[in-house]
Amino acid sequence: MTGKTAFETRYGFARNQVLLGNWRESPFSRWSFQNVGELVPSARVAAAPASGEAPARALDGLLGERVTLAGGPETVAALLTRSDTDGLTIMKGGKLVGDWFAPHMDFGARHIIFSISKSLTAILAGILEGEGGFDPEVPITRYLSEAAGSAYGDASVRHVLDMTVSLDFEEAYLDPESAFARYRRATLWNPGGGSESLAGFILTLQRLAEPHGQTFRYRSPNSDLLGILLERASGQRFADLMREKLWLPLGAASEASVTVDMAGTARAAGGISVTPRDLARVGEMMRQGGMADGRRIVPEAWVRDTTGTGGDTEAWQRGTMAFLFPQGRYRNKWYQTGAASGVFCGIGIHGQWLYVNPKAEVVIAKMSSQPEPVDEPLDVDMVAFFEALSRMV
C-alpha cells in the first residue's frame, strides 16, 4: 500500500480526480481555481518585463481581532476559514497592509476571479472610450452587424455595460439541462464543448418583451459580448488589448490569463486569473481615479461615473440583487453600494471580491473557493466584514 503523494497531502485528493466536469466543485476547486489553464484553453497576459513583487507580509495580530456579524462575534481568521478564502490582500492609503493565504495556496499564485473579470473588461472599454476608439452610446450593431436578429439587435453598448439588456436567459449555474449549461459548453468550461463557439451561442439569444434599459438583469453573456465588441473596435485580441492597455501600464507584477473558446474568443465575463496583489492594484488604481504610479490608466471622468455618479437606481431596484446594496447601482460592470463611504466593488461567484472603500482608503482583494456559486447570506456577511476590516487597518 503506497502513501499519499505530496499533492494529495496538500489538497486532500489526487490530481487525476480533477476533471472538466467537476473543477468548480468542492473540494477540487481549491486546486482548479488556481490552475484553470490545465483544464480550459487559456491566453496569456504578460506582465511588465522584470517586474517583481515584494515578499508576502503576514497580517499578524489582525487575524485575532473580532468582528460582529449577524451570527455573533467571530475572529478574522475564523471568518476567512468559514468563507473558504484562498488568498487575501489588504491595502491602505496605497500601501500594503498584508496578505493571508490558505495552506493550499502559495503567495504569487494566480486565481480565477470569475465575474470580477467583467469589471476588468469594462476598464478596457473605458480606456478605449477615452482614446476615442469606443462609443458606449451607439447600437451594438455598429460594431457587430451579426447581432441583428438576436436579442442585441436593437440594444446599445450602454445596455450591455450596465446589464440592462432585456435578455431571455437565466444564470442557472447548477442546472445541467439549461441554456446556461449550453453556454458553459460553448466556453469550453463544461464537457461536450467544441461544436459551438461562444460568439455563435450569444448570437442565438433572444430578447424579452420588456424594452431594454428598464431592469438590471445580471446576465453573463452580455460581458462576453462586450469582449467581442472591444476586439472589433480595437482590432486586437482581448488578451493583447488587456496587456497593452491595462496590465503593463498598471505595473502588474505577475502574468494574468484568460480562458478562450474553440475560436480563441476570450471569456471576458469570467475567465480571467490574476494574483491577489495584482487584483488589489486594480482596485487601488480605481480608488485613485484611474491613476497608477503617476500614470493615467483610465480617464478620471469614466472612473467617477463608474464608481459614484452613473447608473440607474430604478433599474437596480427592479433587479434581484438590491438586497445586497439597497441603495446601490450598477455601472460599467462595477457595483456601487450607495454607502456614505463611497464603497464600490467587483464581485465573482464562489466568493471573489474586490472591495474599495474610498473614505477609509482601503482596498481588499479576496479570492475564495466557496462550494456554492452564490451564497447570499454569506455575501451579506462579507460586506459587513469588509466594512469592519476597513475600520481596523
Q: What was the pLDDT predicted at 343?
A: 98
Q: Are residues 77 and 90 in the same domain?
A: yes
Q: Are residues 385 and 324 in the same domain?
A: yes
Q: Are residues 374 and 319 in the same domain?
A: yes
pLDDT by 10s per residue, the chain, length 393? 468 999 999 999 999 999 999 999 999 999 999 999 999 999 999 998 876 788 999 998 899 999 999 888 999 999 999 999 999 999 999 999 999 999 999 999 999 999 999 999 999 999 999 999 999 999 999 999 999 999 999 999 999 999 999 999 999 888 888 899 999 999 999 999 999 999 999 999 999 999 999 999 999 999 999 999 999 999 999 999 999 999 999 999 999 999 999 999 999 999 999 999 999 999 999 999 999 999 999 999 999 999 999 999 999 999 999 999 999 999 999 999 999 999 999 999 999 999 999 999 999 999 999 999 999 999 999 999 999 999 999
Q: Are residues 17 and 131 in the same domain?
A: no
From the list 159, 87, 84, the residue with the least C-alpha distance to 315 is: 159
Q: Are residues 8 and 60 in the same domain?
A: no
Q: What was the pLDDT predicted at 286?
A: 98
In a domain, 162, yes or no: no
CA-angle at 85, arms to 46 and 124, nearest 5°: 35
Q: Which CATH number characterizes residue 317's domain? A: 3.40.710.10
Q: Are residues 258 and 273 in the same domain?
A: yes
In a domain, 382, yes or no: yes
* Grid-cell match 439549461, residue found: 178
Q: Are residues 10 and 65 in the same domain?
A: no
In a domain, 196, yes or no: no
Residue of 29, 83, 115, 368 marked catalytic: 115
d(CA 104, CA 100): 12
Q: 257 an active-site residue?
A: no
Q: What was the pLDDT predicted at 95?
A: 97
Facing residues of 258 across strands?
A: 43, 272
Q: Are 335 and 319 in contact (CB under 8 A)?
A: no
In a domain, 166, yes or no: no
CA atoms within a 13 Å half-sphere pointing along the CA-CB vector of 123: 26
State which amino acid sits at residue 240.
Answer: D
Residues 6+ apart with CB under 8 A from 177: none
Q: Are 345 and 335 in contact (CB under 8 A)?
A: yes
Tally of domains within the chain: 2
In a domain, 276, yes or no: yes
From the list 117, 119, 221, 120, the residue with the least C-alpha distance to 167 is: 221
In a domain, 186, yes or no: no
Q: Are residues 25 and 125 in the same domain?
A: no
Whether the link from the prior residue into 27 is cis, omega within 30° of 0, is: yes
Q: Are residues 359 and 250 in the same domain?
A: yes
Q: Are 238 and 227 in contact (CB under 8 A)?
A: yes
d(CA 341, CA 11): 39
Domain residue limits at 307: 33-138+220-392
d(CA 255, CA 177): 36
In a domain, 24, yes or no: yes
Residues 6+ apart with CB under 8 A from 348: 113, 114, 115, 116, 117, 270
Q: What was the pLDDT predicted at 51?
A: 67
Residues 6+ apart with CB under 8 A from 39: 18, 19, 20, 23, 32
Q: Are residues 1 and 71 in the same domain?
A: no
In a domain, 187, yes or no: no
